[in-house]
Structure 1
Amino acid sequence: MIREQIEAKLQAAFEPVFLEVADESYRHNVPAGSESHFKVVIVSDCFAGERFLTRHRAIYGALKEEMADGVHALALHTYTQKEWQGLQDVVPASPPCRGAMRA
């Protein structure tokens, strides 16, 4: 499964203290069973001193094969351990799908 591939690559690249990868494909107008939209919450001190854009580019770099082979979108929430303190219950929800939802 693609979710497990994403988790393994992010674990190896960033050694996170917390990692959650959620398949949100069901929220989008895609065929049933698609694995194309994911929400990633990752906490790693590898992000210390880095802007969010730099963090996101690093994640996209680690997942370049998945992005080229069917993953359409990642909702990325990247934190250092210090930033993560007190945020565990307030991670933003992913934005609604811009396309029509399946009935």
Structure 2
Amino acid sequence: MDIVSSYLSNLMLIVGSLFLLIGAIGLIRMPDVFTRMHAASIMETAGASLIIIGLIINTGFTVVSLKLIVIMLAIFYISSVATHALARACIHDNLKPNATNKESDQ
């Protein structure tokens, strides 16, 4: 059972790291601030959650895992609130989303 939990923990850590890496590359390639915010919030929530789940499996179910769960819940809450506040600030500054769609232009 220890080998299975070790493999599962390592898998979660690798997949979470890949989520963060691919999301960071996607942030560079996105055209406007709204799509970048969307990518950043998804990347942060999914990547960090998978890494924290991997750490919980790795440490076992102890007090440390409870602290990691609290951190994960804080990330869920803070990420959504920060993304919403940033989007409202962009709208307040009259930033418009890039609405060019190549299929609709034809």
Q: TM (normalized to structure 2)?
A: 0.25
Q: TM (normalized to structure 1)?
A: 0.25
Which protein has the bigger strand share? 1
